[in-house]
Amino acid sequence: MKPVSFTINGMAVSAEVEPRTHLADFLREERDLTGTHLGCEHGVCGACTILVDGAPVRSCLTYAVACSGAEVTTIEGLDNDEVTAELREAFKREHALQCGYCTPGMLISARDLVLRAPDADERAIRVAMSGNLCRCTGYVGIIRAIKSVISARRARAIAPVAMNGGALGPAGSRHSGSETVSELMAGRATATPVSAKAQRPAMDRDWRPQVSFEQSFVVHYPRQQVWDFFGQVRDVAACLPGASLVEEPTDNHAEGKIRVKIGPITAEFRGEADIERDEKTYSGKIIGAGSDVRSSSSTRGMINYSLRPTDGGRATEVAITVGYTLTGMLAQFGRSGIVQDVASRLTAAFAQNLEARLGGKALEDLPVSGEGLNAGSLLFALIRDRFKALLKRLFGTR
Amino acid sequence: MKPVNFAYEKPRHLDDALRLLGNGSQAKVLAGGQSLGPMLNMRLVQPDLIVDITALDALKHCEKQQDFLVLGACITHADIEDGRVPDVTNGAMAAVACGIAYRAVRNRGTIGGSLTNADPSADWISALAALGADAIVRGKDTRTIPVESYVTGALETSLGENELLEAIRVPAHSKKARWGYYKVCRKTGEYAHAIGAVLLDRARNVFRAVIGATERKPLVLADAKPLFQGSDDLRKFDPTAADAMLASIGMDDPLDRKIHTVALARAVQQASA
């Protein structure tokens, strides 16, 4: 717990809070100020918008502990505010609310706009209000209400509030920090690893992945040799950075996990997969499912691969089709492109490792290994070279 | 949607912050928290310790030097949008700032946080690379590196464990500098699907172009001439050259390449207007 003091709607408040408590929870749970609504809790919907030091902020993305010394104003604190009163009237008149869930956030964002932008036209109002979502009135009434308040104030020649004074930095942070830094406390919360029961992949033939993409690469070994290697599940898994098997695999079934790191996010998917191979066509299929307990996300995926001889039989082209569906928090956060980028890096790393293994390199000497794929600049060197080659082709020397 | 329990410190001195980061725990730096916050709430990031750097005065400092503007890492998008900091880019930075997410986010989100979070679709990693800005990184020593090297991949930077981004140094434009910045969003304020940026400043012999929101680090051309048939004439923009470059960095989807090429073309159009 950490001590925090600030004012809420003009009243001084001191409390002990868990650092993870965001302002919206603090206001609602500790102060019964339930006019602040929580919608998405990740900064998209705007329902929780309040004022901190006079500026609108997302109270779901602002920790109470970070606002020591700040002035916090919620919708309850704007009862006697002149602009808010005008907006309330206009919202009522223009049918700018129905269920009212978004209204506190709408009013606070609208008040800020009215004060700062006396010249805003309809388009500017729409842009400015785009961070507040309403699911019932359809915005027309809301925009009309705000427009009418802006016009009325313009008619009364009320000047905008200047926003170019004041200290720099995030709203609410402009006051004091801790005088001294306490020694890193013992007993800090550590995430207890929860043992994940691997999920049984449902081998549903009708399942269609949400996202799919194709990739191919060439290894400089004959097809039969690559094909045989692909039959050894343990060796194949070892070529995938961050992957490991939890049980001895059979020819058509494997249980394992893979750890992937994307910036500050680390996900470890545990699961199992069924493997099919067709000797006649040199192709195979891996169908699996797994979940990451930490982020409560799960995935189902299908990989089809086929091997084609190239370079007069001396090399093999490996064509892969990957299809997957990701659900849970990672999916909510992730734009599919980043996931695909990670998958491409994994494929590139796999190709490099495969090449090295086929050439007789020992497991510990594989070019790309480690705790888990760090999605950093793995592919960068490769891309840079291709890019340079292109510039050279286009423009001669460079 | 609640974060895991974490310890929290808000040091007032840079050395204290570096010491907290360097003691081997799973520490995360928090500035405005507008990118990290959602990840924490969704428990995608589960740190032991949060080091809030917004009480460090050095990081909220802003200084106009001879040919540069030095912006502390904790300066917010709204600070830039509202002109609370000086401008050396003929308004280019303010225009980028006011297009970031929403006002409530801009009031807390910081330029340094956005850059260090290095989301490929965020604005500053592309805009600052196009402006030719440098990242000033404080650790044991201070190092100054170009933004395009600071960002190493999607959500990845070259920042070491014991390092903090202290400031961003933006070179001053000459009066006649031409600038264009265009992003493709389906909804106002969302993360961009494509970003194009171009800066032509003949007086300083600078001609840069960036294609961003590529789901990896932005494509930065420190010399943009290859996109303009070898010239520095904005009217000679060659979309096929941009298309070929995007293909060469592995953007396989023709639609994706088209959107990115169009974003750049519109940025060029702005710059030549």
For residue B92, what pLDDT band results from cuts at 50, 70 and 90?
A: very high
Helices (H) and strands (E) in chain B, counts: 10, 14
Q: By percentage, how much of chain B surpasses pLDDT 70?
A: 100
- A277 and chain B in contact, CB less than 8 A: no
Chain B residue closest to A59 (CA)?
B104
Q: In this model, does residue A209 exceed pLDDT 90?
A: no
Determine which of A51-65, A316-330, B119-133, B153-167 has the lowest per-residue pLDDT on average.
Answer: A316-330
Which structural domain range is residue B34 located in? 7-52
Q: In this model, does residue A383 exceed pLDDT 60?
A: no
Q: Quote the pLDDT of residue A163.
A: 67
DSSP letter (8 states) at residue B110: B
Phi-psi region of A312 (alpha: psi -120 to 50; beta: other; left: phi over 0): left
- Tell if the CB–CB gap between A387 and B191 is shorter than 8 Å: no
Stretch A70-84: mean pLDDT, rounded? Answer: 96
Report the C-alpha gap between B131 and B179 in whole angstroms: 9
Task: Tell me which residues of chain A, numbers 87 to 116, contact chain B at a CB-CB cutoff of 8 Å.
Answer: 109, 112-113
Percent of chain B as helix, strand, coil, to the nearest 5: 35, 25, 40
Stretch B94-117: mean pLDDT, rounded? Answer: 97
Q: In this model, does residue B18 exceed pLDDT 60?
A: yes
Report the C-alpha gap between B144 and B168 in whole angstroms: 9
Hey, of A40, A168, A183, which one would you mutate to test binding to chain B, going by the most B CBs within 10 A of its CB?
A168
Report the C-alpha gap between A228 and A149 in whole angstroms: 75
Report the C-alpha gap between A221 and A384 in whole angstroms: 26
- A60 and chain B in contact, CB less than 8 A: yes
Site of tokens 């499912």:
A289
- Counting one residue from chain A and one from chain B, the pairs whose CB atoms sit within 8 A come to 262
A398, A363 contact by CB (below 8 A): no
Q: Quote the pLDDT of residue A335.
A: 62
Site of tokens 């494929």:
A347
Domain closes at, from B156, B171, B186: B171
- Tell if the CB–CB gap between A173 and B55 is shorter than 8 Å: yes
- A295 and chain B in contact, CB less than 8 A: yes
Determine which of A382-386, B134-138, B222-226 has the lowest per-residue pLDDT on average.
Answer: A382-386
Q: In this model, does residue A223 exceed pLDDT 60?
A: yes
**Residue B107 located in a structural domain:** yes
- B30 and chain A in contact, CB less than 8 A: yes
B185 and B160 in a single domain? The answer is no
Element (H, E) at B6: none
Percent of chain A as helix, strand, coil, to the nearest 5: 35, 25, 40
Element (H, E) at A344: helix A336-358
Q: CATH number for the domain including B102?
A: 3.30.465.10
Report the alpha-carbon angle B8-B12-B18, nearest 5: 70
Q: Quote the pLDDT of residue A370.
A: 54
Stretch B113-126: mean pLDDT, rounded? Answer: 96
- Amino acid identity, position B59: L
Cα torsion angle, B247, B253, B258, B264, sign: negative
Q: CATH number for the domain including B207?
A: 3.30.390.50
Q: CATH number for the domain including B37?
A: 3.30.43.10
Q: Quote the pLDDT of residue A374.
A: 53
Task: Tell me which residues of chain B, numbers 116 to 175, contact chain A at a CB-CB cutoff of 8 Å.
Answer: 117-118, 120-121, 152-156
**Higher-pLDDT residue of B262, A381:** B262
CA nearest A384: which of B130, B210, B230, B219? Answer: B219
Stretch A189-205: mean pLDDT, rounded? Answer: 45
End-to-end, the C-alpha distance of chain B in Å comes to: 47
B102 and B46 in a single domain? The answer is no
Q: In this model, does residue B10 exceed pLDDT 60?
A: yes
B11 and B92 in a single domain? The answer is no
**Residue B1 located in a structural domain:** no
For residue B94, what pLDDT band results from cuts at 50, 70 and 90?
A: very high
A87, A149 contact by CB (below 8 A): yes
Cα torsion angle, A114, A116, A120, A124, sign: negative
CA nearest B211: which of B193, B197, B226, B192? Answer: B197
Q: Which residues have CB under 8 Å from A361's CB, separation 6+?
A: none
Q: Supply the mean pLDDT for chain A.
A: 83
Task: Tell me which residues of chain B, numbers 56 to 115, contact chain A at a CB-CB cutoff of 8 Å.
Answer: 56, 59-62, 72, 74-76, 78-79, 82-85, 101-105, 107-110
For residue A205, what pLDDT band results from cuts at 50, 70 and 90?
A: low
Chain B residue closest to A374 (CA)?
B156
Q: Supply B229's token pair.
A: 């048939």
DSSP letter (8 states) at residue A159: P
Stretch B113-131: mean pLDDT, rounded? Answer: 96
Stretch B23-30: mean pLDDT, rounded? Answer: 85
- A380 and chain B in contact, CB less than 8 A: yes
Domains of chain A, with CATH numbers? Answer: 2-155 (3.10.20.30), 211-395 (3.30.530.20)
Q: In this model, does residue B50 exceed pLDDT 80?
A: yes
- Amino acid identity, position B163: E
- A188 and chain B in contact, CB less than 8 A: yes
Stretch B206-234: mean pLDDT, rounded? Answer: 96
ipTM at complex level: 0.95
B68 and B134 in a single domain? The answer is yes
